[in-house]
Chains A and B, each alone.
Chain A
Amino acid sequence: MPGALSDERDVREAYAAHAGELYGFAVRSLGDSGLAEEAVQETFLRAWRAGERFDPQIGSLRTWLFAILRNVVIDLSRARAARPRVGEGGIEPSVEPIDEALLGWQMEEAMRRIGEQHRRILVETYYRARPYAEVAAELGIPEGTVKSRVYYGLRALRVALEEIGYDG
Chain B
Amino acid sequence: MTVERCREWRESLGTYALGHLPAEERAALEAHLEGCADCREELQSLAGVARLMPLADPERFGAAPEPPPLLGNRITATIGAERRVARRRQRRRFGLAWSGAAAAVAATAVLAIFVLGDSGGGSESPAQRVAFHSLPAGMQIDASLEPRSFGTQIEVYVSGVRSGTLCRVFLRGTHGTRLSAGSFRYRWDGDTHAMLSSGLDLSNTRAIGIRVGNHTFVAPVNADLRTDQDRRT
Contacts and interface: CB of A to CB of B under 8 A. Distances in A.
Given A7-B83, A151-B10, A158-B46, 4 more contacts: A109-B64, A147-B14, A150-B20, A151-B15
Interface residues of A, number: 59
Given A106-B52, A147-B11, A12 B58 contact: no
A-B pairs with lowest CB-CB distance, top 8? A151-B14, A107-B56, A104-B55, A23-B67, A150-B14, A127-B58, A24-B64, A148-B11
Interface stretch (B115-123, B158-166, B219-227): B115-123
Interface stretch (A40-48, A55-63, A69-77, A79-87): A40-48
A134 interface: no
B233 interface: no
B68 interface: yes
Interface of A: 6-12, 15-16, 19-21, 23-24, 27-28, 33, 36-37, 40-41, 44-45, 48-49, 51, 91, 96, 100, 103-104, 106-109, 111-112, 119, 122-123, 125-128, 132, 144, 147-148, 150-155, 157-158, 161, 166, 168
A6 B119 CA distance: 10
Contacts of B14: 147, 150-155
Nearest to A151: B14
B126 to A, nearest CB: 12
B97 interface: no
Contacts of A103: 52, 55
10 contacts: A7-B121, A8-B83, A20-B66, A24-B64, A36-B65, A44-B75, A104-B55, A126-B20, A148-B11, A158-B49
